[in-house]
Amino acid sequence: MKSLALKYPANADNATHHAKLAVRAAWEEFDMALDYSAQSLEEVDVQVESLREDGYTAEDVAEALFVLGCYVGEVMVKRLGGRWIETARSPLRDVSPWPMVVLLRDGSAWDPIGKTFLRLELGDSESIAGFFRLALRSLGQRPRP
């Protein structure tokens, strides 16, 4: 994959900034309001599917997928009590090629950026909303309001 031309460095400290870019782009390009709710992840699925249907590859829209992945991660942080962590310091260090992942309080690590790329590449079978529900079930809880 090509190197990404991102507005902020790709690290855990900047994940929130990347997520805000996704919120702005969703509003400007898709007229969708992303509000960091679990339900908003269905809108992210719609956005990514729209890119897929238009024939874009992951390389074509890598920056957009990266910031959308950060948005997905921010929803996990806000609703599931997670936090961003550098991948090299996580249980996914030998699995994920992305620089940061979300660590939940049960110690499980989740790769929302990678999941967003998979959603484009593989379609509906890689539901982002489903990814969130799986993380939620792993914690045995309800999302935070």
Please tell me the predicted confidence (pLDDT) of residue 66: 96
- For residue 101, the cross-strand partners are 85
Structure tokens at 44: 């992210």
Q: How far apart are CA 50 and CA 100, in angstroms?
A: 26
* Domains parsed from the chain with CATH numbers: 12-139 (1.20.120.1090)
Q: Tens place of pLDDT for every residue, the chain, 145 residues?
A: 446 678 888 899 999 999 999 999 888 887 888 999 999 999 999 999 999 999 999 999 999 999 999 999 999 999 999 999 999 999 999 999 999 999 998 999 999 999 999 999 999 999 999 999 999 998 886 666 5
Q: Give the ranges where 54-97 is alpha helix by DSSP (H).
A: 62-80
Q: Give Dmax (Cα) for the chain.
A: 39
Q: How far apart are CA 70 and CA 99, in angstroms?
A: 11
Q: How far apart are CA 16 and CA 39, in angstroms?
A: 19
**For helices 62-80 and 128-139, angle between their N-to-C axes, nearest 10 degrees:** 30
Q: Is 28 helix (H, G, I), strand (E, B) or coil?
A: helix
Least Cα distance to 97 among 62, 51, 56 occurs for 62
Least Cα distance to 51 among 131, 116, 129, 130 occurs for 116
Please tell me the predicted confidence (pLDDT) of residue 3: 65
Contact yes or no for 117/126 (Cβ under 8 A) = no
Structure tokens at 12: 């855990």
pTM above 0.75, yes or no: yes
Contact yes or no for 52/116 (Cβ under 8 A) = no
